[in-house]
Structure formats: C-alpha cells, structure tokens
Amino acid sequence: MTRTRDNAGLNWALVSVCLIGAAFQFGCNGTAGAGVNSAGNAITTRDTEVKHEPCDVTAASERIDANGDGKPDILIIKKDGRDVCRAVDLNFDGVIDAYTYFDSSGQLRRRENDYDKDGQVDEISTFKSGQISEKDQSTALARHLDTWDFYQAGVLVRTERDSNGDGVIDQWWEYPKPGCPLIHADMNNDGRPDPGATIDYCKETGYVPPDRADKAPASPTFETKSSLPTETENKPADVPTEKSAPAPAPAQKGPAK
C-alpha cells in the first residue's frame, strides 16, 4: 500500500528534518546509510489522540498545601488504602500540571504532564515494573501526539515522529549511542525511510555527549512520600554577636625636641 499526499506534505518531511537539525544546531546536509523502521519496510501508523486517564481529584483523601496559600497543590486519591493516582499543581497557578498513576503493588505505571498551562496533557509516559518503557509526546503542543519514544531497561533506544500530523510515521530516530541519534527520513512520502536521507547527528556536528552521570539533585516530583513537603520546626537563626572593636593602639610619641 502506498500513501499519497499533497505537495506541501511532500516538502514538509525535508523541512522538518532541517528544523530538527536546527534545533540541535547542525545543518541539514548529512547523509548516511538507509534506515529501516521498526516494522521492516511496512508503513507505520500511530494513534495521535492524547488520551487522559481519569484521576478523580474530587475523591482525594489527602490534600496538601505545599506553598501555604490555603489551596491544595497535591491531591492524592487512594483505594483500599493504597495510592491510585496523584494530581499536582507544580507552579501553584491552580491548574493541574502532572498526574501520576500507580499499580497494585504501589509502583509508578503512568505519568501525564501538561507543559503549556492549558489544562491539556502534552506528554504521556508509561512504566513497567517502575521503569520507563514508552513516552508519547505532543511536541508541537497542538493537542495531538507527534512523537513516540521507546526505551529498553530505562534507556532511550528508538524514536518515531509524525512531522506533518497525518498519523503516518515519517522520521525514525535510532540511538546506537546515547545522545548520538541516526535520523532516518521519508522524503518521498511513501511511509518508508529513504536511502540517502539519514543524518548521523554526532558525525555531522562533532558533538560529543557529556558524561551522563547526573550530579545535580533531582527536583521533587511528589510521586513518593519522601518527596512530599514536610513541616519543619521554626528555629531562630543564630545571630552572631557583635565583637568588641579592638582598642586603638596608643599614639607613638615623636622624639623630644
């Protein structure tokens, strides 16, 4: 089966690859070997609908005011004594920014994020045994999915993109090394990666991925009890006492005249 698209769509794949390259600060002039999508040479279609999983905040058994303004910022919904989901207003503007969902053993199984403060989910991450396995994103913030990341053992190994929003994958990103993707593109709009339309990101740019060891402390996610705000005892700060100024040295007398 071959899909045909209009001329604007035909050109968009090339434009999109260049835009992605610009976002990573490199030119759109590199080629490498032909890429192969995850289904061999079959056309890959994806459901682009953003589907929010219900989390009944009205049934929250715990409501935590994290910034002391009298409004709950963390809503915890429980069932049979265990957490089912949490809704969090991360920036204290009254709109939920993140939802987290837990399985029957208490492990994280799903996370939803809203990045543009419109109350609509822009990213959905799914987890297996508490470890990320897939991330579906609306990178254009257009209320439909356009990017799908796939992980193995928590490491990003493959990405699919629908650059023109028609539900057909037209870019395939492989990660033979972390931070160094091979970007394969469909230039003729047949739904398959084309020979000679691959960008080796690190080869083209000379980019060397930094040490992946995270040295900066992670921001609180409010997904575990340890990340919830706790009341601390207010103690007066130790104010240093003013030290007495040293007495001035006696003036020296000059030689007698």
Q: Which residue has the higher pLDDT, 38 or 67?
A: 67
Q: Is residue 58 part of a domain?
A: yes
Instruction: Supply the pLDDT for residue 256.
Output: 54
Domain membership of residue 77 (yes or no) is: yes
Residue 234 exposure: Cα atoms within 13 Å on the Cβ side = 0
Residue 69 lies in a domain: yes
pTM to 2 decimal places: 0.68
- Counting the structural domains of the chain, the total is 1
How many C-beta atoms lie closer than 10 Å to residue 124's C-beta?
21
- Rounded to a whole number of angstroms, the CA Rg of the chain reads 28
Which of 113, 77, 68 lies closest to 95, judged by CA?
113
Residue 148 pLDDT > 60, yes or no?
yes
- For the cut 60, the answer to whether the pLDDT of residue 114 exceeds it is yes
The whole-angstrom distance between residue 185's C-alpha and the CA centroid of its chain comes to 23
Please check whether residue 176 lies inside any domain of the structure: no
pLDDT at 70: 94
Q: What is the pLDDT of residues 159-204, one digit of tens each?
A: 999 998 899 999 999 999 889 999 999 999 899 999 988 999 999 9
* Model confidence at 240: pLDDT above 90: no
- Confidence band for 211, pLDDT divided at 50, 70 and 90: confident
How many residues are there in the chain? 257
- Residue 93 sits at the vertex; the CA angle it makes with 90 and 99, to the nearest 5 degrees, is 40
Residue 202 lies in a domain: no
Mean pLDDT, residues 146-169 taken together: 95
Higher pLDDT, 3 or 108: 108
**Tokens 């990213």 sit at which residue?**
123
Whether residue 183 lies inside any domain: the answer is no
Average pLDDT rounded to a whole number, residues 217-245: 53
Query: How far is Cα 70 from Cα 171, in angstroms, rounded to an integer?
Result: 47
What's the token pair of residue 84? 């089912």
* Helix/strand/coil percentages in the chain, nearest 5: 10, 30, 60
Within a domain: residue 255? no
Q: Which long-range contacts (CB under 8 A, 24 or more apart) does 237-241 make?
A: none
Kindly tell me if the per-residue pLDDT of 210 is higher than 90. no
Domain around 148: 48-157
Q: Find residue 40's DSSP bridge partners.
A: 37
Helices (H) and strands (E) in the chain, counts: 2, 12
Q: Is 95 a domain residue? A: yes
